[in-house]
Amino acid sequence: MEEKTINKTHAFNYDGKRLNLTGVKEVAHFEDKEVAVNLQDKGLLIRGKGLNVSELNVNTGVLAIDGQVDSIAYTGSTEKTGLLKKMFR
């Protein structure tokens, strides 16, 4: 079985019509106004209008989103944390 390795670094480029991202682990959810992406160590929240995931390759970590991007923001860690661990922070 071949291991999937995604580079821990990531990059994005927006040309006014398409947002290209690298280093994507998974797409958590997407709607026409918001796309939530999990990177290796944090999340990325993309907001805009008419957003559409046009390309996703989890083997290479490449994601392309078409539409008008209004904002891109990093979110906290994507590590899944149990309820007890959250309570005793």
Helix/strand/coil for 87: helix
User: What pLDDT score was predicted for residue 41?
Assistant: 85
> Which residues, 6+ apart, have CB-to-CB distance to 25 below 8 Å?
6, 37, 38, 39, 40, 58, 61, 78
1 domain-assigned? no
Mean pLDDT, consecutive 10-residue stretches, the chain (89 aa), reads: 58 94 93 94 94 94 96 77 49
Residue 4 lies in a domain: no
C-alpha dihedral over 73, 10, 26, 30, to 10 degrees? Answer: 40
- The CATH number of the domain where 68 resides is what? 2.60.40.2000
Predicted pLDDT at 79: 53
Predicted pLDDT at 78 = 53
Q: Is 44 helix (H, G, I), strand (E, B) or coil?
A: strand
Task: Please check whether residue 77 is in contact with residue 89, taking contact to mean a CB–CB distance below 8 angstroms.
Answer: no
